[in-house]
A and B are shown apart, each in its own frame.
Chain A
């Protein structure tokens, strides 16, 4: 069976698969926003050309992300403990921006009339204070039924301690024939607002995500044979079957960027780069992340200002991409994004009816995109349309590019500085169709000396998807003093078994599953949790880590086991193989006038085709490297070399 990775972006849908002759095959088609599955199938068809055979498609989906960002969500009935209907509306009562005279704190958009209170109550130890009677269950079920919801979320106080009442309501509500999400199942963690919000988001995504995935799965089988199957990338960087993914859509909140991060980590490991900053710039947005050495860290997520207790890779998004619209704000200042020309109509130069100026149009006018070399020449760009759009705005192309670059610079600073990292020692991994157009510029502003453009940067996320392995991350809240190791193994046993069974159901043999068990610990009364691998001397290791991290440890306070976590991974193999480099100077295919504000100014640059650059090729800026799915600017003062993996490495000075 042929394995294909497909990444649906805001502008393009990319497909990638290992080529039989070694290396990769990729194909890019415009995204079809009204029916994304059409674009997906089109991309796979274009990639496989011969058409043949069943396909295993690994999909990075933006359904969940976009639904949460735009608020186009299913109609949810939310059931909660009497007296607490407004927990979702009040949140943590803080405002997002401190200096806001008129704060607009983000909260789940769940209207009060679709919240049903249940008379029941547990105490903090999970003991029943007010029992949930059969009559009350029936009353709640009737009230919920009257709302005709598409999905139901149940969040009761202290359910992470004792889920019995949520289970009882869940059983009764199942009869309504719509998905029922229990907060104790989706995120068994203390803190009601965060847990309720996660359950609410999962419910609100059910009617949006599940049908889309099932439709794509069915279409895939029709197009490529009944043996075909669909897998979906989750925020945690592992894949899941359609059935598993549709059951827990909130775990897809950051499905899109996960493919690129997984691919970047694998390439960084192969090259021996320890910590890297990633810049994934597509048509509508740019994702940035700091990847330290070793395993990719997982953390709880925030999307559209909402806390989601689902684990994901640490990615930060800004609404600036190639298709972002340039406009003047009320103060007359030039702004780029967050509005985007999207896939339809797309930038003005795509010639599909777009009239507003975008970042891509500015690049074209500055000569940084080749009108006849975009998508291998299969997608001619309309210079006149770009000119009209930018002239109508009354801005210079270089100003648009400078504003877009500054927005991305801020995002990169935020992720690196938030972790206390000095950017200057890091390598910037740039991908996405537009990453190479801004990478050296950004690196210069951040004091970075090295930039890496992986092979096929325009389809890099798809490449990461094609090589991703199935994964399950499960957790259980414990919240009591750290028990001895023997007792802890009992806590883990159930979770491990569930993870193994779920992966086995997806066709992964048990013997090939790698299981990692983690303890989440904190000092009694503290908020900061430290994750340590399960093993002997856990208390001692916790105190040492606490001392190293916070400068002191309280030896006399009990250590609390907050939660146990299990991560199970199917087998994966790094797709990267190093080949010998032969030092040579490649030949440009053209020289053209370009504008390089980041180095060189208005100058004549040599244009190279990336496909013609073999490992060992060396060239000097000012130059531009065009390839099928991306374009890379090498400013004056920079040198580029193709390494043994086919990656283009840019060095300054």
Chain B
């Protein structure tokens, strides 16, 4: 499958170009971005840089774009509207068509998490009742037309963020990465001709579908169901019934909560991503990351629900938290069919820490990171400690880089010993991170698995829930979740992330 590697290298090279030239720590250090190559219909044929939460959503982007604008040669389209091809507002997507002569034979896109896109609080992930409150919402728009920047759009973006310089530079880096990908793709078209490339795309999608069918057939046939809750406002429920039969997987999410006020909802793109991740994780390594996989899946999603919300539902936290719980529920249901394959629950959250404010010299700053925790113990052994699980794989920002670029000081970065659940295979431990602010700021922690613990499996015990504290003006207290608090220089937060569940009695 020569095309698999060639297509992947186009996407990978785009990712490298983006990482090297972006300026915000969340992109250059933490690598919170993904790059994809799609065919002319928008089906995913290659994906790189691998943030799973971005993965399953890419194939919904092109149809959404084509409903509203016509991307021509030399154009770049930008969007972040979750209900029109995006994921959540922070993930700004740029997309460019790939032409062979006049004919459009595919698309490239890259999607990067911008630390701030306006809204009520720094980091754009808290304090909103709906999408309008979450920040700047861009439907598919021309960012570049025939090679020329559409300055109005760039100006609107800059006027609506707390860190306009970084937004400008990161968006430039995203566009430059598209150009790099287009050059590489042009080389492939020269080598193989447009027809050859299109044939390769079709072949790869069909191959992905065949392998997925074989995977599903190798599993026991049958039905199973599972449900779990988020600890966010109103404890939304996620329920799933699955049926594996004759090489097709049917999933029914009826029974999940209706969409909620606030930010805990997800667009169905994210539910696709969670499912895509689970299939990919259970497949042998040669399964390519293409939309071919999804052709074997029948997904039934209740409309206007927490797993398939409709405008103007807020989705900022759903993208990062609800997505993790959807994975937990899918794995819980699959464990009924595959008890010897599925580990206990991992930390089940991303521990999203956001803060922003103004430095002494008047410059604004905004920062975003997610913190690893315990992985669940499983049939292969104890869970890993202090690691990103399931839907994210972003790195940390090195303490030395964080302190060089932002007015904070890190006092502790430790494993939270004993936080993994008991069992034949223990759950991994969470992380304890203690930060001191050196400038006035507003800080938010968006996280779950605080009220509930990551469950153990096959007789193993649960991991310890996360626990977060803060010290303001010398007084210690709890740090409330998903609500911004004002901090002054010298104030501290301590975040202790959940341990993974244990496996086996």
Contacts and interface: CB of A to CB of B under 8 A. Distances in A.
A and B: real partners? yes
Interface of A: 83-87, 89-95, 98-105, 123-124, 129, 157-158, 160, 190-194, 413, 417-418, 420, 422, 424, 523-528, 546, 549-552, 554, 557
B37 to A, nearest CB: 14
Given A92-B396, A101-B282, A526-B23, A417 B5 contact: yes
Nearest to B18: A550
B371 interface: yes
A524 B23 CA distance: 8
Contact of B401 (A83, A101, A191): A191
A101 B376 CA distance: 8
Contact of A525 (B8, B166, B376, B415): B166
A194 B29 CA distance: 13
A193 B398 CA distance: 7
Nearest to B383: A102
Interface string B377-394: 011110111111100011
B400 A192 contact: yes
B254 to A, nearest CB: 26
Contacts of B17: 549-551
Interface string B39-63: 0000000000010100000000000
Contact of A90 (B50, B372, B389): B372
Contacts of B378: 101-102
B413 interface: yes
B9 interface: yes
Contacts of A424: 191
Contacts of A417: 5-6, 8-9
Candidate in A98, A190, A550 with the most chain B CB atoms within 10 angstroms: A98
Contacts of A422: 187, 191
Interface of B: 5-6, 8-9, 12-13, 17, 19-24, 28-29, 31, 50, 52, 166, 169, 172-173, 175-176, 179-180, 184, 187, 191, 277, 280-283, 331, 341-343, 371-372, 375-376, 378-381, 383-389, 393-396, 398-401, 403-405, 409-415, 431, 434
Contact of A101 (B342, B371, B400): B342
B314 to A, nearest CB: 28
Contacts of A101: 281-282, 331, 341-343, 378
Given A528-B21, A551-B176, A94 B387 contact: yes
A191 B172 CA distance: 26
A551 B384 contact: no
B176 A98 contact: no
B311 to A, nearest CB: 31
Given A546-B21, A550-B17, A93 B399 contact: no
Given A99-B281, A101-B282, A546-B21, 11 more contacts: A84-B414, A90-B386, A91-B386, A92-B398, A93-B372, A101-B342, A102-B379, A102-B383, A124-B404, A526-B23, A526-B28
Nearest to A445: B2
Contact of A94 (B24, B277, B394, B400): B394
B387 A103 contact: yes
Contact of A526 (B22, B371, B394, B414): B22
Q: What 10 A-B pairs come out closest when comparing CB atoms?
A: A528-B20, A551-B176, A527-B28, A93-B372, A525-B23, A92-B395, A417-B9, A83-B412, A90-B386, A550-B21
Contacts of B9: 417-418, 420
Contacts of A98: 50, 52, 393
13 contacts: A83-B410, A83-B413, A94-B393, A95-B387, A104-B380, A157-B399, A190-B401, A420-B13, A524-B23, A525-B23, A525-B405, A551-B179, A552-B173
B279 to A, nearest CB: 9
A93 B371 contact: yes
B413 A103 contact: no
A193 B372 CA distance: 15
Contacts of A84: 399, 412-414
Contacts of B191: 422, 424
Interface centre among B283, B378, B414, B415 (most CB of A within 10 A): B414
Nearest to A101: B281
B384 A90 contact: no
Contacts of A129: 409
Contacts of A87: 399, 413
A527 B20 contact: yes
A99 B47 CA distance: 13
Contacts of A193: 398
A552 B169 CA distance: 10
A527 B29 contact: yes
Contact of B415 (A86, A157, A420): A86
Contact of B413 (A90, A158, A523, A552): A90
B399 A527 contact: no
Contacts of B401: 190-191
Given A86-B414, A99-B281, A124-B404, A554 B375 contact: no
A416 B233 CA distance: 51
B20 A94 contact: no
Contacts of A524: 23
Contacts of B280: 99
Contacts of A525: 23-24, 166, 169, 405
**Interface-centre pick from A100, A422, A523 (highest chain B CB count, 10 A):** A100
Contacts of A552: 21, 172-173, 175-176
Given A83-B434, A158-B400, A551-B180, A93 B387 contact: yes
